[in-house]
Amino acid sequence: MTELKNDRYLRALLREPVDMTPVWMMRQAGRYLPEYKATRAQAGDFMSLCRNADLACEVTLQPLRRYDLDAAILFSDILTIPDAMGLGLSFGAGEGPKFARTIQTKADVDNLPIPDPEGELQYVMNAVRTIRRELKGEVPLIGFSGSPWTLATYMVEGGSSKAFTKIKKMLYSEPKVLNALLNKLADSVTLYLNAQIKAGAQSVMIFDTWGGVLAHHDYPQFSLQYMHKIVDGLIRENEGRKVPVTLFTKGGGLWLEAIADTGCDAVGLDWTVDIANARARVGHKVALQGNMDPSVLYAPAERIEQEVSDILAGFGNGSGHVFNLGHGIHQDVPEESPKIFVDAIHRLSQHYHEK
C-alpha cells in the first residue's frame, strides 16, 4: 500500500500534532458541483451511480480536484443496508428516498436478513477498493454508515419524515420490536463497516442524523446503545495504523459526554453547539469534528472567513479538531464558497499548531 502523503485528518482524529487543522465537508460530492450532475446523468439514477465503482470513484474525487480537502469520503448512501435487506429503495426525481416495503411488525423484523457485505453490498466494497487505488495515497478515505436508529426511521416510516410518528408509535407501544430491529441493524452495520475497513477505508463515521429527535431519556436506549455496540465490534487497526471512528448525532449536543464514553475517537458536532464548550466537556477524551452552519457558505467571503476564525478560536490551541460543516453542504451554494472556506481554515489555523 502507498504511504499517505497527507495524514493530518487521521492525526487530528487521534489528537496527534498537525501543522494545520484538516478539513473535509459533509456531502462534499454532490449536486452543488456541475460535474457531479453530469456524471449522475451518465449513470442514469442515483443508485446506478452508487453501483458503478468507476463512476462512484469519479464523483468521490471531483471535490478534491477543486478544493484542498484533507480527506475523501466514499460515494454511497446510508440507505444501502435497508435496500440490501430487501426493502426496495428508490429515489424519485427531486424527491427523497422511498422504500417499497416498510417494517411494521415483529414478523417483518424477524424476516429481515443480515446482508453479506461481500454479497448484496459488494458494489460498495468495490467502490471502496477502486477509490482507494485511485486516491494514490493523496488523502485518507472515510467509510461510513447510518446509525441503527437513523436507518430504522427510514425503514419504519418508508422514507424521510418530519414527525416520525410511525417509529415513535413503535417505540412507545412495541419497544421490544424496535429493539429487535435496532439489534439486527447494529449487527449489519458492524459487518458492513468492518468490510469497508478491510476493503481500504482508513477511518469510519456513523451518521446519526435523526438521533436528535429522541427524548433525552430515550436517546441512550434507542440510539446510543447501538452505536456503542458497533464501536465495540469494529476493527480499530489496519495496515499498521489506527482506524479512527467518528460518531455524529445531529442535535446531539445534550449527550456529548455519553457519546464520548462509547470509546469512539471523535464526536461530530452540529452548529447548535459551541465548540469551546464541547472541548471543555469532552476534549480530554475525544477529538471534535465540525461545526460551521452550512448556510454560512451563502455569505460573502469576509463573513465565511469570520465564522472560520471564530470556530478555530473557540477550539483553541493544539490538535484534536477536524473542521467540517455541522451538516451536509447545500445544493445551491456558490461554487467558489467552498474554496474560500477550505483555504481560510488552512491559513488561519496554522498559528494554533505552532510547537
Give the annotated binding-site residues. Answer: 27-31, 77, 154, 209, 327
Q: Does 144 bind ligand CP3 (CB under 6 A)?
A: yes
Q: Compute the Cα dihedral for 172, 178, 183, 185 and give only its sign.
A: negative
# chain residues binding ligand CP3, by CB under 6 A: 22
| Residues annotated within a binding site for substrate | 27-31, 77, 154, 209, 327
For helices 53-66 and 34-43, give the axis angle rounded to 10 degrees.
Answer: 170
Quickly count: other Cβ atoms within 10 Å of residue 116's Cβ: 14
Active site residue 101: no
Active site residue 77: yes
Q: Which three cell numbers stand for residue 239?
A: 495496515
Q: Does 160 bind ligand CP3 (CB under 6 A)?
A: yes
CB crowding 67-95: b at 16 or more within 10 Å, else e: bebbbbbbbbbbbbbbbbbebebeeeeee
Q: Does 209 bind ligand CP3 (CB under 6 A)?
A: yes
> Which one, 78 or 319, has the nearer CB to ligand CP3?
78
Owner of C-alpha cell 471534535? 288
Q: Does 31 bind ligand CP3 (CB under 6 A)?
A: yes
Q: Does 9 bind ligand CP3 (CB under 6 A)?
A: no
Give me the least distance between CB of 73 and ligand CP3, in Å please: 5
Between CA 152 and CA 150 the distance in angstroms is 5
Q: Does 323 bind ligand CP3 (CB under 6 A)?
A: no
Q: Which three cell numbers stand for residue 30?
A: 454532490
- Which x/- pattern, by CB under 6 A, does the window 260-299 give for ligand CP3? ----------------------------------------
Q: Which three cell numbers stand for residue 195?
A: 468490510
Active site residue 11: no
In the set 154, 192, 219, 226, the catalytic residue is 154
Sites for ligand CP3 among residues 165-184 (CB under 6 A) = none
Active site residue 27: yes
Give me the least distance between CB of 62 and ligand CP3, in Å please: 9
> Which one, 144 or 341, has the nearer CB to ligand CP3?
144
Which member of 78, 152, 155, 287 binds ligand CP3 (CB under 6 A)? 78
Contact stretch for ligand CP3 (CB under 6 A) within 70-78, 129-137, 213-221, 289-297:
70-78
Q: Does 98 bind ligand CP3 (CB under 6 A)?
A: no
> Which one, 40 or 242, has the nearer CB to ligand CP3?
40
Q: For 267, list phi and psi in degrees, rounded to 5.
A: -120, 130
> Which one, 17 or 96, has the nearer CB to ligand CP3?
96
> Which one, 125 or 283, has the nearer CB to ligand CP3?
125
> Which one, 75 or 255, has the nearer CB to ligand CP3?
75
Closest of 45, 80, 199 to residue 151, by C-alpha? 80
Point out the residues that are catalytic: 27, 31, 40, 77, 154
- Contact residues toward ligand CP3 (CB under 6 A) are 26-31, 40, 46, 73, 75-79, 91, 96-97, 144, 160, 207, 209, 328
